[in-house]
């Protein structure tokens, strides 16, 4: 396993990422049904606005009933002082509203993160928003390999036009089964939504409805962000308004989405700017208090020292948990030199799915080491490339307290149920790579 992140941390990637002990039954892992070439919970041919108006696609509404293995209560896990039936959840993004939260709660997920909200209504980008990629390998987060483009495959959502029609002679490598990725069968997509959001009035109705859809042993985190450049408001002031909207809707935990463009004085992404992160979190806590625990959502780091500084800053503010990673930003182009796949105004976008799993595991491994070494007391959420049940176990072994999936949730309707079977077969526990007992 390639060590993508350079820095003075001691990691044994092969020991962390190997998880053969939990290949109990292939039906738990490799045979988790994928909904052909379309997400079962989202219509890729429609915008976020249209998906909200139409609700779950028919293929998502008509899933066959599933029977879940519920853990006995003495095997439940604790996260941010909430008791959860299992350590599996859904990351911010796929849970557009209470309808989607209800779906996740019924299919084996227990820590749901409501899609990132703003202080105001925002419709996001037009189509395309999701494009499948030709990717056959794990992607690095730094180095020369990051400079080259990735290439789209299949058709452009909403257009009905195959990419092979755009320029004669383009090599597509399209699989007949419609899976994202190349010959390896990786589920690989890029997404660019522009962080759309319902308005405060709609959220005042929908957030309580989402919370009401939960079962005992489940919780909902609400993801929030600020909007740079709003007239008369700083990013932090707008973030406070979004937090107040979430709290007014009954949020019991907030995830502050810092994996966004920099709005501070440095020239790095906001989550990598330790002084800006500390000032932002301290200001948010000063305005809204400590009514509910806070999680900060981050992306990948190019080195360990930068991650250490940010985690130390988070620890000083009293944040409860950190979550990572978000998608990996890359240039995405049409085959044959036909230009940016998402259009000239969006040359880069976030890559999600299988190709970012190694980067997500690396984030968790290093973050766990730093949290332990610095005695920061932070809980850790692992995200990235979780498309099979055994991937969840790999993250738990690497040191995650909670594991969340986004792309896996959208394409694999049985992922949560498969994990619950695997979790039961493991005795509701996992041995971490550092030798300590894991969740359970």
Give the tens place of pLDDT for each residue, 203-224: 999 999 999 999 999 999 999 9
- Could you say which of 111, 260, 304, 352 is catalytic? 260
- Looking at domain 13-57+74-425, its CATH architecture is Alpha-Beta Barrel (3.20)
Q: Which of 334, 326, 436 is nearest to 381 (CA)?
A: 326
Give the tens place of pLDDT for each residue, 384-394: 999 999 999 99
Instruction: Indicate the pLDDT class of residue 259, thresholds 50, 70 and 90.
Output: confident
Q: Which of 210, 189, 217 is nearest to 110 (CA)?
A: 217
Q: By mean pLDDT, which of 208-222, 251-265, 366-380 is the weakest?
A: 251-265
Known catalytic residue at 111:
no
Average pLDDT on 88-96 reads 97
| Cα separation, 363 vs 267, whole angstroms | 21
Give the tens place of pLDDT for each residue, 110-169: 999 999 999 999 999 999 999 999 999 999 998 988 889 999 986 555 544 444 333 333
Give the tens place of pLDDT for each residue, 44-62: 999 999 999 999 999 999 9
pLDDT at 436: 57
Instruction: Indicate the pLDDT class of residue 246, thresholds 50, 70 and 90.
Output: very high
């Amino acid at each position: 396993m390639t060590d993508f992140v350079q820095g003075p941390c001691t990691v044994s990637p092969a020991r962390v990422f190997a998880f053969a002990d939990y290949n109990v039954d292939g039906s738990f892992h490799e045979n988790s049904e994928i909904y052909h070439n379309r997400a079962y919970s989202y219509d890729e041919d429609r915008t976020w606005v249209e998906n909200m108006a139409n609700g779950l696609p028919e293929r998502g509404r008509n899933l066959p009933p599933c029977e879940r293995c519920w853990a006995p209560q003495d095997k439940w896990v604790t996260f941010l002082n909430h008791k959860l039936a299992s350590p599996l959840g859904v990351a911010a993004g796929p849970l557009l509203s209470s309808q989607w939260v209800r779906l996740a709660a019924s299919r084996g997920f227990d820590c749901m993160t409501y899609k990132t909200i703003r202080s105001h209504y925002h419709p996001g980008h037009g189509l395309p928003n999701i494009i499948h990629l030709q990717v056959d390998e794990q992607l690095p987060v730094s180095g020369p390999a990051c400079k080259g483009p990735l290439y789209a495959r299949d058709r452009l959502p909403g257009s009905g036009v195959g990419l092979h029609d755009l320029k004669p002679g383009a090599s597509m490598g399209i699989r007949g089964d419609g899976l994202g990725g190349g010959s390896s069968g990786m589920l690989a997509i890029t997404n660019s939504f522009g962080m759309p959001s319902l308005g405060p009035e709609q959220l005042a109705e929908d957030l309580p409805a989402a919370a009401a859809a939960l079962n005992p042993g489940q919780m909902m985190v609400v993801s929030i962000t600020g909007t740079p450049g709003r007239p008369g408001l700083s990013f932090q002031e707008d973030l406070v308004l979004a937090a107040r909207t979430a709290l007014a809707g009954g949020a019991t935990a907030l995830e502050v989405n810092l994996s966004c463009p920099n709005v501070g004085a440095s020239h790095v992404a906001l989550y990598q700017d330790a002084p800006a992160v500390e000032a932002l979190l301290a200001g948010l806590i000063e305005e809204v208090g400590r009514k509910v625990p806070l999680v900060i959502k981050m992306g990948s780091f190019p080195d360990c020292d930068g991650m250490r500084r940010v985690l130390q800053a988070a620890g000083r503010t009293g944040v409860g948990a950190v979550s990572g990673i978000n998608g990996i930003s890359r240039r995405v182009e049409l085959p044959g030199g036909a230009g940016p796949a998402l259009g000239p105004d969006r040359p880069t976008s976030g890559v999600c799915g299988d190709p970012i799993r190694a980067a997500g595991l690396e984030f968790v491994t290093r973050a766990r080491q730093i949290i332990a070494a610095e005695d920061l007391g932070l809980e850790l959420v692992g995200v990235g490339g979780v498309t099979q049940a055994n991937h969840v176990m790999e993250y738990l072994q690497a040191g995650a307290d909670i594991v969340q999936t986004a792309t896996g949730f959208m394409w694999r309707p049985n992922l949560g149920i498969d994990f619950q079977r695997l979790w039961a077969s493991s005795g509701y526990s996992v041995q971490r790579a550092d030798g300590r007992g894991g969740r359970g």
